[in-house]
Amino acid sequence: MGQHETAATSLGQAVRDELDASLAAVDADLARRYPGDPGTRQPVHTVYVPADAYAADTVRTWGERALAALDEHAPDAASLAAVLGIPDDLAEPVHTRVRAKLEREPVEDLRVDFEDGYGPRTGADEDADAARAAELTAAACQDGTAPPYIGIRMKSMEAAVRDRGIRTLDIFLTGLMDAGGLPAGLVLTLPKTSRPEQVAAMARLAEEFERARGLAPGRIGFEIQIETTQAILGADGTATVARMIDAAGGRATALHYGTYDYSAACGIGAAHQSLDHPAADHAKAVMQAAAAGTGVRLSDGSTNVLPVGPARRVHDAWRLHHRLVRRSLARGYYQGWDMHPGHLPTRYAAVYAFYREGLERTAARLVAYTHRAGGDITDITDEPATARALSGHLLRGLDCGAVDAAETARLTGLTRADLEALAGRPRR
């Protein structure tokens, strides 16, 4: 007879049953609202391209321009390390992997922009661009040239542009359906949200389109762009962004911070609008707390300092971008926006160095945890929550190409499936 069966207790089974029954609704609500990590790849960035500039060769052109910038301003590992301050032991693997990434998959997530980057257009022009975007996107997905994630940023649910945004979304989605169906990596972005009701309206649109075209319920998700102060702090003092996630009815996939709209709304002067301003940090901290455990991912915004002109200016812009990307990564924002092909070398350099530095120590901590060795292998004793973070770190590195499966297997003795189990990701 086991110890559990012989240990003396004072409370009967009926008490436990009663408590289970009283908390059943709470258990169900927590499971619904906080399902945890979705277990899918998160892109390290989103590239925004105005709809009128979107072309069949956009991704290839961005890659070629990024490679040209790298070859001109940091043609080898030593020069890239000198510009960005990458440690000597990481310089060669980072430079090699950045080049390979720019050749193989320069853009992970592409958003065809019908909002701020698009500007005012006639209705006929926007109709034509929306239809063309659908046609080009469908063709790219069919011939394998599309990035893993692709979609549009429509206009917002604000009264002045609501009807136009709905029409553009309808034309784009209809075009994709007529060309063969929605791509697996489809992503839609709803900008300038300030009230949960606007998010609920977007969810209703998605539901109605699914019904009209015979799609499975819940097939269409969308990102919520946080660009207004009302999205962070509502008139009633609540964190509106948390209510927005709930209003999406399970369709919200990510929260994207809008650097310049939010900064301007806070009254911050143009010269001081940046990802690292205290107002930005506050907004993103609220977003992070609201999204934690919900399966909704976070994305930081962009820098508008472009790496163009003479070498000195390019290097200055690269250093700024590299520092901001690393800062975001350290704060748990694993995605951001890139506004120019010249940002791609420093995006990937920062991301790859972030995941490769300390790789052996990260692996050793996982080995110690899985073998319950603790201080016998490292000077840190990790708990399950930290093991989830360590595994998630390696998985993100694998997804973006910073590390490879052979390396992680050699260092940890773990397969990807093992890492996903430790990270608490659902089986797919």
* 350 inside domain: no
At residue 309, the pLDDT reads 96
Asked if 230 and 266 sit in the same domain, the reply is yes
Q: Which among 275, 232, 227, 201 has a CA at the least distance from the CA of 116?
A: 227
Whole-number Å distance between alpha carbons of 147 and 140: 8
Q: What is the pLDDT of residue 173?
A: 98
Cβ atoms of 382 and 369 closer than 8 Å: yes
Residue range(s) defining the domain that contains residue 109? 45-341
The answer on 314 and 173 residing in a single domain is: yes
Query: Are 69 and 309 contacting, i.e. CB atoms less than 8 angstroms apart?
Result: no
With respect to residue 56, please indicate whether it lies within any of the assigned structural domains. Answer: yes
Which residues on neighbouring strands pair with residue 45, listed in sequence order? 336
Q: Domain count of the chain?
A: 2
Q: Convert 325-352 to b/e letters by CB count within 10 Å (16 or more is b).
A: bbebbebebbbbbbbbbbbbbbbbbbbb
218 and 80 within one domain: yes
CB atoms within 10 A of CB 66: 28
- The reported pLDDT for the residue numbered 119 is 87
Q: Are β-strands 45-50 and 336-338 bridged in parallel, bridged antiparallel, or unpaired? A: parallel
Q: What pLDDT was estimated at residue 1?
A: 43
pLDDT, tens digit only, all 428 positions of the chain: 455 567 898 999 999 999 999 999 999 999 999 999 898 999 999 999 999 999 999 999 999 999 999 999 999 999 999 999 999 999 999 999 999 999 999 999 999 999 999 989 999 999 999 999 999 999 999 999 999 999 999 999 999 999 999 999 999 999 999 999 999 999 999 999 999 999 999 999 999 999 999 999 999 999 999 999 999 999 999 999 999 999 999 999 999 999 999 999 999 999 999 999 999 999 999 999 999 999 999 999 999 999 999 999 999 999 999 999 999 999 999 999 999 999 999 999 999 999 999 899 999 999 888 887 555 555 566 688 888 999 999 999 999 999 999 999 999 999 999 999 998 887 65
Task: List the structure tokens of 286.
Answer: 């609220």
Give residue for tokens 């609920």. 200
Residue 400 in tokens: 């973006």
The residue among 306, 341, 376 that closes a domain is 341
69: helix, strand or coil: helix
Residue 59: predicted pLDDT: 97
Helix axes 240-247, 196-213, angle to 10 degrees: 10
Same domain? 416 vs 289: no
What is the CATH classification number for the domain harbouring 307?
3.20.20.60
What pLDDT, on the 0 to 100 scale, is given for residue 100? 97
If asked whether residues 185 and 245 sit together in one domain, one would say yes
Rounded distance, CA 232 to CA 217, Å? Answer: 29
